[in-house]
Structure 1
Amino acid sequence: MTTTPAGRATATAAPRAALAAAFLQGLADQDFATLGGALAADARLRALVPRGLREWTGGEAVAGQFARWFGDTEDFELVEATLGDVGGRLQLRWRLRLRAERLGAGWFTVEQQAYADAGEDGRIARLDLVCTGYRPETDND
C-alpha cells in the first residue's frame, strides 16, 4: 500500500508493485518465462534504443525481445533496480552488468527505465522504455 499526498492509502499500489517485482525478478534471474508471465497476452513494448524507436506487440514477443537483449550471456548481474509510481503508472528502472560474446570482449553496463500500465487482467499491458545501450566498462567505471 502506498499513500497519496493527502495521506489516503491506494489499494491498487500493492498488486502493481508485486507485478513489477515479478517482472524484475524474472529479468534478474534471466527467467524470461517468469518475465513473460507478468505481461498481458496483448502487451505492447515501445522502446527508444540507440538505433531508434522500436515496437513489439504480444506478451511472447515482448518477453522474447528481453531474452534477445539479455539472454545468451557468459556473466549477468542485476546491479540495481527501483520501482515507483508516477502519475498512476508503474515506474521501473534497472541497471545490468553483463559479458556476452556477441557484444565483444569485456564487461558492459546497460540501464533501462520504463513506465508501465496494467491491463484488465492485472498484468503489464503497456511498457514504454528508454535504454542506454550496451556501454563498455572502463577502468574509470
Structure 2
Amino acid sequence: MSGTRTKSDPRTPEGSPPVRWSVGGIFLETLATRDYERMATTLGPAVRFRALLPPGPSHCEGPERVTDTFRSWFGSADDFELVDATVGEIGGRLHLSWRIRLRPAPFGIGENWHVIEQHGYADATDSIETLDLLCSGFHPDGRVGSE
C-alpha cells in the first residue's frame, strides 16, 4: 500500500502512511484482558504517551513505561470489565475509546465499583508510535447492584 492519499482512500492525509485499525483493536483486546506484555507489542519502540488526567498532565516514553502506566491504573483490580470500546479514525489518526468498570479503584479511591472512560488519539501504522489520552478519572458507579 502506498503512503500517499488516493481517490479510493480519501481518509489518509497526503503523504501519511495509512492508519491500521487492527493495531487499535489488538491494543483494546490487551486492555480488556489486562495482558500488558502483549500490549507492549502494539507499541512502537520509541512510543510517546501523553495523558491529560484529573490531577494534571502526564508524559512517558517507551513501551515498558506506557504499559506500566496502564498496569498502575487497572492491574490490581479484583473485578474488571471493559464495558464499551471503539476503534475509528479522524484525520489520519487512530481514535480509541473505552469505558471500564472495576473494583477496587486504584490509589485508595474506594472498594466499591468505579467507572472510568478514556479517549486516545494515536499515530499508528503497524504499531502505535504516539498516544494522546484524555481521561475522565475514576468515578463511583451509581448503577444498582454496584456495591
TM bucket (normalised to shorter chain) is 0.7 to 0.9
> Quick check: 1:108–1:136 contact (8 Å CA) kept in 2?
yes
Q: 2:52 aligns with which of 48, 54, 61?
A: 48
* Alignment gaps of 5+ in structure 1: 1-5
CA distance in 1, matches of 2:18, 2:50: 24
Shift of 1:139: 4.5
Q: Which residue of 1 aligns with 2:3?
A: none
Q: Confirm or deny that 1:107 pairs with 2:117.
A: no
> Quick check: 2:85–2:97 contact (8 Å CA) kept in 1?
yes
Q: Deviating runs (4+, > 3 A) in structure 1? A: 9-13
List aligned pairs for 1:120-139, cutoff 5 A.
122-139=126-143
List aligned pairs for 1:28-47, cutoff 5 A.
28-47=32-51
The structure with the largest helix share of the pair is 1
User: 1:97/1:7 Cα in 2 relative to 1: closer, same or farther (>3 Å)?
Assistant: farther
Q: Which residue of 1 aligns with 2:28?
A: 24
Shift of 1:118: 1.9
Q: What TM-score do you get using the length of structure 2 for normalisation?
A: 0.82
The structure with the largest strand share of the pair is 1
Aligned length: 132
State the superposition RMSD in angstroms. Answer: 2.1
Superimposed CA distance per residue, residues 87-129 of structure 1 (whole angstroms, 9 cap, x where no aligned partner): 000000000000026431210000000000026xx21010000
Identity, % of aligned positions = 41
Q: 1:80 aligns with which of 81, 84, 94?
A: 84
Superimposed CA distance per residue, residues 9-44 of structure 1 (whole angstroms, 9 cap, x where no aligned partner): 47934xx11100110000000111111110011101
Q: Which residue of 2 aligns with 1:3?
A: none
Q: Which residue of 1 aligns with 2:65?
A: 61
Q: Which residue of 2 aligns with 1:8?
A: 8
